[in-house]
């Protein structure tokens, strides 16, 4: 039998259990060109909160009753597509469910012989590519420059800082709590990390960035963004990747220090990873090379069972995850 999680109601604020439903159905059978996949890992990502809403965004939201959107990593069970055979490991946009039939053209075959399959949902997958293209094309740090990233211990942020170090820049994280900051500096090798939940963020950031900020990789928005704006250097760059602090707010935060863009001629550019679709092979190779060289560490937060996915998503939105949030399905 297949097990799926569907959207049962549109949440107001943080989602709750009753906004989701667990549905059992027959395992589907692949049609021509399709592949039946058994998901082993489900990725939980902040963008999923946006899909629960009808607000205008870069992708249309779900309808009530739809299977929740999500990427999985799993194994081909049956194939009617020439490029896939049973046993192949793939990532797929198959949603919050154990089994799914998809056209083979939508799947991505991965080599999980040297790294865990789950890494293709994190540092070697979509979050890793987001970090790579945002850093390469928008932040573009030069050796010796200072790169600051928020949500620094997370799936995207951890890769941003490790890329900064690999490219000769100074990496400074912003994260919630001492444990996350210790991990960012001691395990990931960032030069400094500021705990935004304790002390004076502005003063602590200034101490961590004595020469100001040349690149900011924005993952959270809100007051953190306003504080960073005031410490950005002349001709600095900002990649706006995510604004998670707004995602469950009834009223979005109004930025106060927008003027800093004018005064310091800051380049601010929004980033949606699929705009780089044609260059995914470049990003994948760069990340895999970095991992093979031992310069790309990954940490995962794992919950077991599809029924844990709603709890995992709410936890992610509250910062309870520590590293890439995954659901183990097999």
Residues contributing to the site for ligand NAP (CB under 6 A)? 45-47, 127, 130, 151, 153-157, 175-176, 180, 219-220, 222, 241-242, 244-245, 271-273, 316, 319, 321
Give min distance, CB of 153 to ligand NAP, in A.
Answer: 6
Q: In whole angstroms, how far apart are CA 112 and each of 37, 89, 146, 204, 275?
A: 16, 7, 34, 41, 26
Query: 6 - beta bridge partners?
Result: 21, 67
Task: Kindly state the smallest distance separating residue 219's Cβ from ligand NAP, in Å.
Answer: 4
Question: From CA 291, how far away is CA 108, in angstroms rounded?
Answer: 19
Nearer to ligand NAP, 38 or 180 (CB): 180
Separation between Cα atoms, residue 40 and residue 180, nearest integer Å: 27
- Three-state secondary-structure class, residue 271: coil
CB of 152 to ligand NAP, least distance (A): 7
Cβ-contact 42, 72 below 8 angstroms: yes
Least distance in angstroms from the C-beta of 242 to ligand NAP: 2
CB burial class (10 A; 0-12, 13-18, 19+) of residue 17? exposed
Provide the 10 A C-beta neighbour count for residue 265.
12
The nearer residue to ligand NAP, 70 or 242, going by C-beta atoms, is 242
Answer for the pair 194, 254: CB distance below 8 angstroms, yes or no. Answer: no
| Rounded Cα–Cα distance for residues 235 and 199 (Å) | 29
Closer residue to ligand NAP, CB minimum distance, 273 or 291: 273
Minimum CB distance to ligand NAP, residue 169 (Å): 19
Cβ proximity to ligand NAP, 70 vs 222, nearer residue = 222
Please identify, using beta-carbon distances, which residue of 76 and 156 lies nearer to ligand NAP: 156
Cα(287)–Cα(121) distance, rounded to whole angstroms?
13
* Closest to ligand NAP by CB, 127 or 312: 127
Which 8-state DSSP code applies to residue 61? Answer: P
Residue 211 burial (10 A CB sphere; 0-12, 13-18, 19+): exposed
Instruction: Choose among 157, 158, 179, 182: nearest CA to 295.
Output: 158
What is the smallest separation between the CB atom of 287 and ligand NAP, expressed in angstroms?
A: 14
Looking at the Cβ atoms of 306 and 316, the one nearer to ligand NAP is 316
The one-character DSSP state at 11 is -
Shortest spacing between CB 273 and ligand NAP, in angstroms: 4
- Residue 77 sits at φ, ψ, to 5 deg, of -100, -40
Residues comprising the chain, all counted = 330
Tell me the closest approach of the beta carbon of residue 274 to ligand NAP, in angstroms.
7
Nearer to ligand NAP by Cβ, of 38 and 49: the residue is 49
């Amino acid at each position: 039998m297949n097990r799926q999680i569907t959207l049962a109601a549109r949440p107001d604020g943080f989602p709750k259990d009753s906004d989701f439903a667990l549905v059992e159905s027959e395992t589907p059978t692949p049609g021509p060109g399709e592949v039946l996949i058994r998901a082993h890992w489900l990725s939980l990502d902040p963008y999923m909160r946006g899909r629960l809403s009808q607000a205008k965004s870069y992708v249309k939201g779900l309808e009530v009753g739809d299977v929740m959107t999500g990427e999985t990593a799993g194994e081909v069970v049956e194939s009617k597509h020439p490029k896939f055979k049973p046993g192949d490991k793939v990532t797929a946009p198959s949603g919050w469910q154990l089994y799914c039939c998809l056209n083979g053209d939508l799947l991505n075959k991965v080599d999980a012989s040297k790294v865990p399959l789950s890494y293709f949902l994190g540092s070697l997958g979509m979050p890793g590519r987001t970090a790579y293209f945002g850093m390469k094309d928008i932040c573009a740090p030069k050796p010796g420059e200072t790169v600051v990233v928020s949500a620094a211990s997370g799936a995207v942020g951890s890769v941003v800082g490790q890329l900064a170090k690999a490219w000769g820049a100074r990496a400074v994280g912003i994260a919630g709590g001492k444990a996350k900051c210790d991990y960012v500096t001691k395990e990931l090798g960032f030069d400094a990390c500021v705990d935004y939940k304790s002390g004076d963020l502005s003063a602590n950031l200034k101490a961590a960035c004595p020469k100001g900020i040349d690149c900011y990789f924005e993952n959270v928005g809100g007051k953190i963004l306003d504080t960073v704006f005031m410490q950005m250097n002349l001709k600095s760059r900002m990649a706006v990747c995510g604004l998670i602090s707004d995602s469950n707010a009834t009223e979005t935060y109004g930025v106060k220090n927008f003027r800093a863009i004018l005064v310091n001629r800051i380049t601010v550019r929004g980033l949606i990873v699929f705009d780089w679709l044609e260059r995914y092979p470049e990003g994948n190779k760069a990340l895999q090379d970095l991992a093979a060289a031992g310069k790309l560490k990954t940490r995962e937060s794992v919950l077991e069972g599809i029924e844990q996915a709603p709890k995992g998503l709410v936890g992610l939105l509250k910062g309870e995850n520590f590293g890439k949030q995954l659901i183990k399905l097999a």
